Structure 1
Amino acid sequence: MRILVATDFSPRSQRAVRRAGILAAQSRGTVIMMHVVDGPGCRETSQDIREAQRMTVEQVAVVPELYRVRCEPLVVRGNPSSEILNAAEDHDADLIVVGSSHRGPSRNAGRTVRNLVRSARCPVLVVRRFAASPYERVLIPVDLSDASKRALGSAGELKLVDSAHVTVLHAFEAPGKSKLSGFGVERDQIDGYVEACRSKSAEDIEALLASGGFDDRDWSRRTEEGSPPEAITRIAERIPTDLLVIGTHARTGLRKAIFGSVTEDVLSRAGPDVLVVPPPRSDLGCQPLLPPTAGRPEVGPSGPRLVLG
């Protein structure tokens, strides 16, 4: 597995680097340690690039989780989110890892995170908590769609759930429940109706897991009455959760993720790490990430070179 991790040498990116190292060790993968220098291309920026490469190499050397992991330092100049997206394509990354403050991202960091999760063609892991060990408790909300199956599959392929207790959550609503009491329906009959809806939702979860080949996994299943945003918030607060996994639908990005605006709310508040799984590449279109004539300097282990977009 090839993991591209973005670093600006801040505490939040240090958490991301450590998580990337943990994941690479689990999968025997490679970490591409990337820093983007934002500048106009003057002499000072060239000096910044050289200094950034030195700091990137030093960060690789001092992070314990990277000691036995293959690492490739990468420094480029340009807009952070655009360059990270292009590097993920150029280096065939399987996962982008980026840090975010556990108190909610700062303005600039938040903009970069939003751009990445909306536009990346590979999964994006937003790291918000201190990383010291593999994930132990993972919550995967599902809406019974292909996006949910992709989220389940990506969590397994990326080795995020190998040693974790996984809870698959499906929220359901009982249509017309609020009107039944007004029609004189007894409380026990209403409760029986809700339980019938719950049973149907449990069957739907099993069908989803079976269709994706996940029915043999030792994963917990939960059905919660209420809207998806309410259910996710309630369960994430009720049970310890290290990672939340969410799949997005085609052409909709983060704003139209499986549970709508709740996904952005999750990333704007304190909480667990979040893995955002995009739709297949064929559903994203084929627009280039950079204009065909654009060029950018790239500095790798062997020195600077010009990469044409």
Structure 2
Amino acid sequence: MRILVATDFSPRSQRAVRRAGILAARSGGTVMLMHVVDGPGSRETSQDIREAQRMTVEQIAVVPELYRIRCDPLVVRGRPSDEIQDAAVVHDVDLIVVGSPHRTRTRYTGRTLRNLIRNAPCPILVARRSSASLYARVLIPVDFSDASLRALQSAGSLKLLDRAHVTVLHAFEAPGKSKLSGFGVGRDQIDSYVEGCRSRCAEDVEALLASGGLVDRDWSRRIEEGSPQEAIARLAERFPADLLVLGTHARTGFRKALLGSVTEDILSTGGADVLVVPPHASGRCRQPRPPMHAGWSEIAQAAPRLVLG
């Protein structure tokens, strides 16, 4: 697995770097540690690039999860979301890992993340927790769209579900339920109506899994009444997850993802890591240009000698 991890050397991106190392070690993959320098190409920007090169090498050296992992540095100048996207295309990346967005102004803000997800050629893993282990509990909310199927399959192919307890969640609302009592329908009949809706949704979940060849997986299924926000909150309180997997729809992009505003709400608050699986981006990415970056040998020569303990 080829992993690109974006860093701005903050504690948030440090979590992303550590997570990338954990996943690379599990899959026998490689890591590209990327930093983007903003600026018009002035002398100050050139100095920033040299400093970023030095800091990137240092970060590779001091992060224990990267020990014995092939990790290449990449420092470029430009707009973060564009440069990360271009690098992912040029280097045929399987997964992009970024730190959690923050309300304060940094290179990898919520806006950058949104722009990246709209055009990303591969899944984006947003690392929000510090961890030294693989994911143990994974929650995958689904509707019955291609986006949900793509999210399920991508999480499996990236080996994020190995050895994890996986729960597939579907939230439903029984149409017209709130009006039934006003028409004199008894409680037992209303409950029966709701259970009928739940049963049909359970069948649809099984059909979704079967369409992806996933029906035989030893995964829990939860069919919860209520909005997606309510269902996720209830389940997270009873069974805290390490990872939440969400798919996005091609027709509306990030701001209208699988769960509408739920996805953006999740990313703006603390909690589990989030894997966002965007639509296939073929034909939607900008034509990649050769990245401006220094090679490993050039960067290593510019950086101070580092000793691994």
Q: In structure 1, how many angstroms separate the alpha carbons of the residues matched to 2:230 and 2:105?
A: 26
Distance 1:157 1:295, change over 3 A: closer
Unpaired runs of 5+ residues, structure 1, are 305-309
Is the 2:121–2:285 contact (alpha carbons within 8 Å) kept by the matching residues of 1?
A: no
Is the 1:113–1:126 contact (alpha carbons within 8 Å) kept by the matching residues of 2?
A: no
Is the 1:78–1:296 contact (alpha carbons within 8 Å) kept by the matching residues of 2?
A: no
Partner SS for 2:213 = coil
Is the 1:60–1:66 contact (alpha carbons within 8 Å) kept by the matching residues of 2?
A: yes
Residue in 2 aligned with 1:297?
Answer: 292
Q: In structure 2, how many angstroms separate the alpha carbons of the residues matched to 1:180 and 1:259?
A: 27
Q: In structure 2, how many angstroms separate the alpha carbons of the residues matched to 1:264 and 1:207?
A: 28
Aligned-residue offset at 1:182: 1.0
Q: In structure 2, how many angstroms separate the alpha carbons of the residues matched to 1:286 and 1:113?
A: 17
What is the aligned-residue RMSD (CA, Å)? Answer: 1.7
Distance 1:99 1:289, change over 3 A: farther
Q: In structure 2, how many angstroms separate the alpha carbons of the residues matched to 1:99 and 1:6?
A: 8
Q: In structure 2, how many angstroms separate the alpha carbons of the residues matched to 1:289 and 1:139?
A: 35
Residue in 1 aligned with 2:157?
Answer: 157
Q: In structure 2, how many angstroms separate the alpha carbons of the residues matched to 1:189 and 1:296?
A: 64
1:134 aligns with 2:134: yes
Following TM superposition, the consecutive aligned residue runs of length 4 or more in structure 1 with deviations greater than 3 angstroms are none
Moved more, 46-55 or 62-71: 46-55
Distance 1:155 1:195, change over 3 A: same
Pairwise mapping of residues 224-239 of structure 1 onto structure 2 (< 5 A)?
A: 224-239=224-239
Is the 1:248–1:258 contact (alpha carbons within 8 Å) kept by the matching residues of 2?
A: yes
1:196 aligns with 2:196: yes
Aligned-residue offset at 1:296: 5.4
Partner SS for 1:125 = strand
Distance 1:88 1:49, change over 3 A: same
Q: In structure 1, how many angstroms separate the alpha carbons of the residues matched to 2:22 and 2:11?
A: 17
Moved more, 147-156 or 174-183: 174-183
Distance 1:70 1:287, change over 3 A: closer
Deviations 1:247-291 (A, max 9, x none): 111142211111111111111111211111011234xx345256x
Is the 2:2–2:31 contact (alpha carbons within 8 Å) kept by the matching residues of 1?
A: yes
Letter in 1 for 2:10: S
Distance 1:155 1:207, change over 3 A: same
Pairwise mapping of residues 1-309 of structure 1 onto structure 2 (< 5 A)?
A: 1-100=1-100, 104-108=102-106, 109-282=109-282, 285-288=283-286, 297-303=292-298
The sequence identity of aligned pairs, in percent, is 75
Is the 1:128–1:272 contact (alpha carbons within 8 Å) kept by the matching residues of 2?
A: yes
Distance 1:67 1:295, change over 3 A: closer
Is the 1:82–1:289 contact (alpha carbons within 8 Å) kept by the matching residues of 2?
A: no
Q: In structure 1, how many angstroms separate the alpha carbons of the residues matched to 2:122 and 2:242?
A: 21
Partner SS for 1:9 = coil
Distance 1:289 1:242, change over 3 A: farther
Aligned-residue offset at 1:151: 0.3
Is the 1:85–1:289 contact (alpha carbons within 8 Å) kept by the matching residues of 2?
A: no
Letter in 1 for 2:20: A
Q: In structure 2, how many angstroms separate the alpha carbons of the residues matched to 1:198 and 1:251?
A: 28
Q: In structure 1, how many angstroms separate the alpha carbons of the residues matched to 2:225 and 2:251?
A: 29
Aligned-residue offset at 1:107: 3.8
Partner SS for 2:72 = strand
Q: In structure 1, how many angstroms separate the alpha carbons of the residues matched to 2:285 and 2:33?
A: 26
Q: In structure 2, how many angstroms separate the alpha carbons of the residues matched to 1:208 and 1:300?
A: 45
